[in-house]
């Protein structure tokens, strides 16, 4: 939905299982009209669309995209952002670190992202820029060579030129948004600033993009900054113990665009004693990674997944867990959440807009502890959007 001031708010459809276009379309037709009726009955409702590589390939087949665009228009819906992070299956079985493959070292990632960009260009309403969120380079444990970061930056430069050419031919401007996440090449804002300043906007990437685009150095730098930026996920930044003010000031000082702001919250456990650890075992599920950060004697401990943290017998304080939980839940089981971090970020957004694309992203309903799984999907989404609207007003 369009907000006062021109920003757009939606939720990410990665909540709905489905890897084929047939399954994706069925879920969209089932849920979107109902959610629109509950949230914006008298105005158009924006869509944050998630497509796997298979679904994108199928949607691009003859006639499907125009039919989908027609249904969107008839239903009072419009697509302005895509989730291009998970390439393959995202529900129904273990995902874990497979969510990051292929990464930005591999040609399949660029091909997939370019196919998403072509679809988004065909769906974007005139005058609205688009965004695609993506893997933050790579999962750190997957990196093997010293030149991996440079290779990633050069592949991103190639994609930026692709987006530039798409803009020239269609008039639709699309920004690629790398999403920093615990355990990845880009985890914290300082890491993202260093990578973008030294690599993405650095001499080698500029030369690569200039050679492909035929533009001068200054124009090429503008091209890279215009089409390559970040997706700021509030849960991820809170888990990394960052402060909202510091995140925004560092990104603004570096001139890095925030193409998408994901509204999300994680788990927060100030003093995980035996009872808390026992209760957390219900959250240690087999589908998604739940990277955990904690403090011990002034040091930050980094656990790849929640079971790794639970297996550490030594005491630690201030656990923060990458587990997207309902925004409206002040507490979940016996635990608090990082929703206060998100509220602080939205207060800053009201003072000076952070991004024109805001997306609620709670995708873990199906793996929450058992008693939270039976809640109505449309009710949950409408309630989360209502929570966000209340803090954006």
Q: Give the pTM.
A: 0.97
Contacts (Cβ under 8 Å, ≥6 apart) of 146: none
Whether pLDDT at 330 is above 90: no
CB of 51 within 8 A of CB of 59?
yes
pLDDT per position as a tens digit, 36-85: 999 999 999 999 999 999 999 999 999 999 999 999 999 999 999 999 99
pLDDT at 240: 97
pLDDT at 97: 97
CB of 59 within 8 A of CB of 119?
yes
| 3-state SS, residue 240 | coil
Residue spans per domain, the chain? 8-265+337-392
Rounded average pLDDT over 230-239: 98
CB of 262 within 8 A of CB of 232?
yes
The more confident residue out of 334 and 115 is 115
- Where does the pLDDT of residue 29 fall: very low under 50, low under 70, confident under 90, or very high at 90 and above? very high
User: Would you give the DSSP letter of residue 198?
Assistant: I
pLDDT at 371: 78
pLDDT at 196: 98
pLDDT at 292: 98
pLDDT at 92: 87
Distances (CA, A) of 167 to 121, 170, 214, 226: 8, 5, 15, 11
42: left (phi over 0), alpha (psi -120 to 50) or beta: alpha
Rounded average pLDDT over 198-215: 98
pLDDT per position as a tens digit, 153-167: 999 999 999 999 999
Whether pLDDT at 326 is above 80: yes
- Identify the CATH assignment for 8-265+337-392 out of 3.40.50.2300, 3.20.20.70, 2.60.420.10, 3.20.20.150: 3.20.20.150
pLDDT per position as a tens digit, 357-382: 999 999 998 899 887 776 788 999 99
pLDDT per position as a tens digit, 297-324: 999 999 999 999 999 999 999 999 999 9
16 vs 39: CA distance, rounded Å: 18
| Whole-number average pLDDT of the chain | 96
């Amino acid at each position: 939905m369009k907000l006062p001031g021109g920003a757009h708010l939606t939720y990410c459809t990665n909540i709905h299982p489905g890897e084929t276009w047939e399954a994706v379309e069925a879920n969209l037709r089932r849920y979107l009209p109902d959610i629109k009726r509950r949230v914006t009955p008298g105005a158009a409702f924006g869509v944050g669309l998630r497509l796997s590589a298979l679904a994108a390939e199928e949607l691009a087949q003859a006639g499907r995209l125009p039919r989908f665009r027609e249904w969107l228009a008839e239903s009072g819906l419009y697509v302005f952002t895509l989730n291009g992070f998970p390439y393959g299956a995202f529900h129904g079985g273990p995902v874990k670190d497979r969510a990051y493959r292929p990464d930005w070292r591999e040609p399949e990632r660029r091909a997939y992202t370019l196919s998403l960009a072509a679809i988004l260009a065909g769906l974007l309403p005139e005058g609205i820029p688009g965004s695609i969120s993506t893997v933050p380079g790579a999962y750190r444990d997957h990196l093997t060579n010293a030149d991996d970061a440079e290779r990633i930056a050069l592949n991103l430069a190639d994609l930026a030129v692709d987006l530039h050419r798409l803009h020239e031919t269609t008039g639709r401007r699309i920004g690629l948004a790398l999403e920093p996440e615990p355990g990845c090449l880009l985890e914290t804002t300082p890491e993202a600033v260093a990578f973008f300043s030294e690599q993405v906007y650095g001499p080698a990437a500029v030369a690569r993009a200039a050679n492909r685009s035929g533009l001068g150095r200054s124009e090429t730098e503008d091209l890279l900054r215009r089409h390559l930026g970040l997706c700021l996920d509030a849960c991820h930044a809170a888990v990394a113990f960052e402060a909202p003010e510091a995140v925004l000031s560092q990104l603004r000082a570096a001139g890095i665009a925030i193409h998408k702001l994901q509204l999300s919250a994680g788990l927060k456990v100030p003093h995980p004693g035996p009872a808390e650890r026992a209760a957390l075992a219900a959250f240690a599920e087999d589908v998604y990674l739940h990277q955990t950060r904690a403090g011990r004697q002034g040091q930050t401990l980094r656990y790849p997944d929640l079971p790794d943290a639970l297996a550490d017998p030594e005491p630690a304080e201030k656990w923060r867990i990458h587990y997207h939980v309902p925004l409206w839940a002040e507490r979940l089981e016996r635990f608090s959440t990082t929703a206060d971090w998100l509220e602080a970020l939205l207060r800053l957004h009201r003072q000076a807009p952070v991004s024109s694309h805001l997306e609620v992203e709670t995708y873990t309903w199906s793996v929450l502890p058992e008693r939270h799984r039976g809640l109505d999907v449309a009710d949950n989404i409408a309630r989360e959007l209502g929570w966000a609207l209340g803090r954006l007003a």
